[in-house]
Structure 1
Amino acid sequence: MSSANATPPVPGDFDKPLDRLIGKASAAGIEKHLGLTTVGELLNYFPRRYLNRGELTAIDKIPVNEDVTILARVLSATKRRMRERKGFITDVVVTDDTGGLSSLKISFFNGHQAERDLRPRVLALFSGKVTVYNGARTLTNPLFELLPDDELAGHEAEFHARPVPVYSATAKLPSWKIQRVVEAVLVIVDFSGLRDPLPAEIVRRGKFMSLEDAYHQIHSPSDPQDWQRARDRFRYQEALVLQTALARRRAQTAAEDATARRGSADGLLAAFDAGLPFTLTPGQQSVGAVLAAELSAQHPMNRLLQGEVGSGKTVVALRAMLQVIDSGGQAALLAPTEVLAAQHHQSIRAILGPLAEGGMLGGADGGTQVTLLTGSMPAAARKRAMLDAAAGTAGIVIGTHALLSDNVQFFDLGLIVVDEQHRFGVEQRDALRVKAHKPPHLLVMTATPIPRTVAMTVFGDLDTSVLRELPAGRAPISTHQVGLAEHPAWVRRIWTRAREEIDAGRQVYVVCPRIGTDDDGDGSEPLSDQSSAPTRDARDTRELAEVTAVVEQLRTEPALAGVRIEALHGRLDTDEKTDTMAAFAAGEVDLLVSTTVIEVGVDVHNATLMVILDADRFGISQLHQLRGRVGRGGLPGTCLLVTSLEAGHPSRRRLDAVAATTDGFILSQEDLKLRREGDILGASQSGGRSTLRLLRVLQHEDIISQARDDAWEIVQKDPQLRENSALEAAIEAYLNPEKEAFLERG
């Protein structure tokens, strides 16, 4: 864990370098293995769990291929000579005292100390990586530490009752060595300069222990109740620091001066609504009314719009854009890929019709223009698009990161719409904001539903709207897991099924995780869901499906004879991508083999079947997004999740989850459970350690909600936090620039 993960350093001893208190040798080891350099960073490196000395670690629940610290009793110890080299091996079998098969074999090469110390009945802590050898779990050359047992501890009942803290450790710095250093620091550190970030009234209400007591009890508890009370205190403190940072930002935004965009009664929006060939859902109408009111205010709208795949977010956003245009402003739509930007450009122009041809022959009076701007456009077209944006001719400018270029200017930018927000950081949003004369209104859209607790933790400075219902005409999607390990013959049936759909006049997507043999993804098109996409295990030697190879294979597949098959991926040039997608939309291509470039925004109503090859290589949210490309034209959709992993493989749990429901909010909760929340605030978003040290967003909604209320009340009374300077210092120290950026990514 890096020093960036530590909670706020505080004045006095907490700011001192570690070597001032524990010596250079010990401090160097802590810095080398943990990245901690100050007293405050070390004391904020909390234990990740606690062992009760009377409760041995359940051996059958020890994870494989992970560094662990376990408490076990020695069952036997034997010594044998190595066959192929000099020396001997000491085999130690340990148990958790539950009987049966609850034992673990530990091997020490030339383990003189192990041979001497690890006698039957001895209790010890073992630290190392558990592996599997000959079908059994084993530890090889772990570090170990003896613990007194009843027979050894004699009358030391008080010592025997104390929990054993377990820290996240490394191979060369086990947990108990960290514990010794921490306890040595606790004895000599001066807490007199420590200021409490929690206001006194919150401490009284929550009956929280003092900050000094909390540090002692979380690292060196006398009983389980001590560390639990200390943990509760620090957990709430973490929640309040985060929520106050968000509340302060929200208040600062509300105080900014923006141009009110009230629209007009007989403008573009009215004409658009009058010509709509369908009725807006109640949800679309309700969210539209909220956006209209906020756009009419003189402070910036900052809203997150969540919506299921196909819930009609784009129409809601378009109506907001038209209200801004009716008020003399412009709207910019930022899309993550050129395919999606081109799709938005095409679909918005199509739905606006003559209203998108302002100033052109046949265009509607008072109409506007919709301009596309991407990085790979020809120079002449790019220059023309930039002129239209700068002159105000284009009311709607749709683009990719090209919109962020310094030489792209707007006449009067009034609204920024960010599609698929998780692909962009705060830098991109701010690069667009500075192109406006006054702070523009902001609408962030995502089709990846966000659990309420995550929204409060990461997007807490944005107001949130949700579209749950699907517009009329959206058909249900049935999802099936296709396990080739247990049913190898099904691979031929997949393509027969595709042919049946094509013969019925429909179209098919086939999605692959790779483009060709020389890549690990989709080239220039980033995966949208790195947060839930699994990391490939080094032992996984499967050859993953590649677009180029699958296209060649399917063109020779007997079941698909005569079928028009094309490829789409991020390495094709823009014109080729656009032409291929247009041909598929026009029905000139029957089967499209693609990477994840078709994941969001692509809208081909005639596509009814999606085959996702090596589906276990995608995350839950990504699979949910992908299957949303079918069933969009009133015809039932089918999604086949194809995997060659054996039944029971952990990665197939994601496929089970996606096949079980089409509710994106349920899937988002399941996603977080499976990937252990990942790094909620940081860029490393799959499993591993989280910069949320004690908070767990799915478990602590009540704490986060209470902290949010408290934070808002604090900021309302004290916007500059002048009366809460310790809390402000904690915010500044806890939210390093990286975390600050992620909190601002809305």
Structure 2
Amino acid sequence: QLALSQRRLAARQRPAPTCPPVPGGLADAFDAQLPFTLTDGQREVGEVLTRDLAQQHPMNRLVQGDVGAGKTIVALRAMLRVVDVGRQAALLAPTEVLAAQHVRTLRELLGPLARAGELGFSDDTAELATRVTLLTGSLGAKARKQALLDTVSGAAGIVVGTHALIQDRVEFAELGLLVVDEQHRFGVEQRDALRGRDGERTPHLLVMTATPIPRTGAMTVYGDLEVSALRELPQGRSPIATTVVPVGEKPAWLDRAWGRLREEVAEGHQAFVVCPRIGDDAPSAGEDVAEDPDEPERRPPLAVLDIAPMLASGPLEGLRLGVLHGRLHTDEKEAVMRAFTAGELDVLVATTVIEVGVDVPNATAMVILDADRFGLSQLHQLRGRVGRGSAPGVCLLVTEAPAGTTARERLDAVASTTDGFELARHDLELRREGDVLGASQAGRRSGLRLLSLLRDEQTISDAREEAWRLVADDPALSRHPGLAGMVAEIVDDERAEYLEKA
């Protein structure tokens, strides 16, 4: 806690671009045109972000919201505060599919406010409007040149991209805010590369996550990020019913699962089928579940390229099927997602490329094959892709894992609640906290000595407050040589660098 408090203090001492509210500006115009009411949580977090952005030291905040809690709106309102004072905001997404989805969503939410500079555009809000630009590695030469020009000139108030944004030749007119979507999918060095630009000033940092991964849960309590949480779902979100389909014990249930999916399509809805592998390759789920040493060796995970034709000629014959996975070219991925979003496909057979950010309100059903091959956080994220409209969602977790195994316990936990914060506790119980001060994720041994993140939350919280009080008064701990020695002993150079960048 002392080491993290020292990092937090050092971050606060860096200069940052101040972005105070601008009455009657773009952010206010956006709020005025919203067709729905913000939740209390969205308003509260928004007020916190507004205060953070107005200060002279960099904001370093994690917004943890459950799947569907409305984090995108919160981030957009913060980005508009930055644009209002003539600076830019960058939104980093983990995949090109998600980056393109974000651009569509932001433009739809902003409406005329995102149409700055368009020919023939005339509106009462034209003088306030900005531009949302997509910048990814696979853009064509002409589109990329225009995106780079919009970015360096400042014409684009909001720039959305992936790792391409971090390349050295991408220059911003003045970057005021960096928003990182799904923190754990970017390496700390990648985030640091963009955050450390813009001469002397450090852009504000907003990290958004809906994923209850162990390190995020632990860093939430231990970390040098300030933390805000969105716990309530916006009005209109529909419930999701989750059921475990134990095909090892009840093979007939799989036929019923396909029948259930066909019923949803017959009612005019759409569905996902998720597999852990693409096919002819290593597992592509980013499997974060260690194999249980007590279980016998298992067959290879099911693959999209095998399952899609089997479904097309079998239980889903006659339905319009599409395939989506990471090996498709970006243009192909985009075309498939557009077709699915437009309702031209009934069922999308995919890998976890759909795990975060994909928003198709008409999709109401999901069948996850070999569900025990995915981590709990992945299952929760995947499930969040359905039930995003007015119709309720259904998620079926198909598994051969026998009752009583750890794998089955994990699936039962997912089926028992849709509360991501509760699932985070289940995840920590099943997987332990991981190494809080380093890069290792999960394992049987915890880096925490004597304390448990679950049992000793209050003790850890008290330690955090006491550590901050000590460091605020004595940053180098020069008046506390014993504590300084303990910090030096615990946090070696490698871990100190990890904390600095994380």
> Could you say which TM-score interval applies, normalised by the shorter chain?
over 0.9
Give the C-alpha shift of residue 285 in structure 1.
Answer: 0.8
Aligned counterparts, 1:393-412, within 5 A: 393-412=155-174
- In structure 2, do the counterparts of structure 1 residues 733 and 401 end up closer, same or farther at CA, with 3 Å as the change threshold? farther
Query: Residue 740 of structure 1 corresponds to which residue in structure 2?
Result: 496
Q: Distance in 1 between matches of 2:52 and 2:355?
A: 31
> Secondary structure at the residue paired with 1:380?
helix
**Distance change (3 Å), C-alpha of 1:411 and 1:341:** same
- Larger mean CA deviation between 478-487 and 259-268 belongs to 259-268
> Secondary structure of 1:394's match?
coil
Shift of 1:684: 2.8
Contact 2:218 2:433 (8 Å CA) reproduced: no
Question: 1:453 deviation in Å?
Answer: 7.0
| 1:286 aligned residue (44, 69, 72) | 44
Please give the per-residue CA displacement for 1:715-741, whole angstroms capped at 9, x wherever unaligned: 122112222334334323322344334
Q: Between the two structures, name the one with larger relative contact order (CA 8 Å, sep ≥ 6).
A: 2
Which residue does the alignment assign to 1:443? Answer: 206
Secondary structure, aligned partner of 1:465: strand
Further displaced range: 359-368 or 651-660: 359-368
In structure 2, relative to structure 1, the CA distance for the partners of 1:640 and 1:595 (3 Å cut) is same
Report whether the alignment pairs 1:424 with 2:180: no
Matched, 1:533 2:292: no
TM-score by length of 1: 0.64
Measure the CA separation in 2 of the matches of 1:677 and 1:394: 41
How far did 1:335 drift? 0.9
> Equivalent residue for 2:2?
244
| Secondary structure in 1 matching 2:76 | helix
Displacement of 1:473 in angstroms is 0.8
Change (3 A) 1:457 1:264: closer
Name the CA distance, whole Å, in 2 between partners of 1:680 and 1:691.
Answer: 7
Aligned counterparts, 1:253-332, within 5 A: 253-332=11-90
CA distance in 1, matches of 2:276, 2:25: 46
**Any residues of structure 2 matched to 1:658-737 within 5 Å, and which?**
658-737=414-493
Mapped pair 1:635 → 2:391: yes
SS in 2 for 1:608: strand
Give me the whole-angstrom Cα distance separating, in 2, the residues matched to 1:384 and 1:717: 50
* Equivalent residue letter for 1:248: Q
Q: Give the CA deviation at 1:536.
A: 6.8
Q: Amino acid of the residue matched to residue 153 of structure 2? A: A
**Structure 1 residues 329 and 432 mapped into 2: Cα distance closer, same or farther (>3 Å)?**
same
Instruction: Please tell me whether the aligned partners of residues 89 and 158 of structure 2 are also in contact (alpha carbons under 8 angstroms).
Output: yes
* Alignment check: 8 A CA contact 2:245 2:398 kept: yes
Question: In structure 2, what is the equivalent of residue 134 of structure 1?
Answer: none
Is the 8 Å Cα contact of residues 607 and 631 (structure 1) preserved in structure 2?
A: yes
Matched with 2:372 is 616
Deviation at 1:465, TM superposition (A): 0.8
Larger Rg over CA atoms: 1
Shift of 1:342: 1.1
Output the CA distance in 1 between the equivalents of 2:263 and 2:490.
58
SS of residue in 2 equivalent to 1:418: strand
> Closer, same or farther in 2 for the Cα pair 1:341/1:533, shift >3 Å?
farther
- Unpaired runs of 5+ in structure 1? 1-242
Identity of aligned residues (%): 58
Query: Residues 446-465 of structure 1: matches in 2 within 5 Å?
Result: 446-449=209-212, 454-459=218-223, 461-465=224-228
Mark the runs of 5 or more structure 2 residues left unpaired by the alignment: none
Letter in 2 for 1:260: T
Q: 1:683 to 1:249 in 2, by over 3 A?
A: closer
**1:313 Cα deviation after fit:** 0.5
SS at match of 1:651: helix
Partner residue of 1:550? 307
Q: Which amino acid aligns with 2:274?
A: V
TM-superposed deviation, 1:673: 0.7
Distance 1:288 1:343, change over 3 A: same
Q: Distance in 2 between matches of 1:252 and 1:501?
A: 54
For residue 584 of structure 1, report the CA deviation from its aligned partner: 0.6
CA contact (8 A) 1:268 1:323 kept: yes
Report the CA distance between 1:449 and its aligned residue: 4.1
Could you tell me which amino acid in structure 2 is paired with residue 554 of structure 1? L
Q: d(CA) in 2 for partners of 1:462 and 1:376?
A: 32
Does structure 2 conserve the Cα–Cα contact (< 8 Å) formed by 1:453 and 1:698? no
Which of 652, 655, 663 is the aligned partner of 2:408?
652
Contact 1:306 1:450 in 2 (8 A): no
Does the aligned pair in 2 maintain the 1:554–1:560 contact within 8 Å? yes
C-alpha separation between the residues in 2 aligned to 1:274 and 1:456?
33
Corresponding residue of 1:369: 131
Equivalent-residue separation in structure 1 for 2:408 and 2:259 (angstroms): 24
Q: Secondary structure at the match of 1:601?
A: coil
Deviation sequence 1:358-409 (CA, Å, 0-9, x none): 1112263331111111122223322221221111111111111111111111
Cα distance, 1:490 vs structure 2: 1.7
Structure 1 vs Structure 2 CA RMSD:
1.9
Deviation string for 1:228-275 (max 9, x for gaps)? xxxxxxxxxxxxxxx111111222222222221113212211221111
Q: Is the 8 A contact 1:410 1:435 kept in 2?
A: no
CA distance, structure 1, for counterparts of residue 447 and residue 405 of structure 2: 29
Equivalent position to 1:497, from 260, 271, 293: 260
Cα deviations by residue, 1:31-80 (Å, 9 ceiling, x for unpaired): xxxxxxxxxxxxxxxxxxxxxxxxxxxxxxxxxxxxxxxxxxxxxxxxxx
SS at match of 1:709: helix
Contact 1:425 1:741 in 2 (8 A): no
Structure 1 residue 456: Cα displacement: 4.8
| Residue in structure 2 matched with residue 94 of structure 1 by the alignment | none
Q: How many residues get paired?
A: 495
* Aligned residue identity for 1:257: P
Question: Of the candidates 278, 282, 295, which is equivalent to residue 515 of structure 1?
Answer: 278
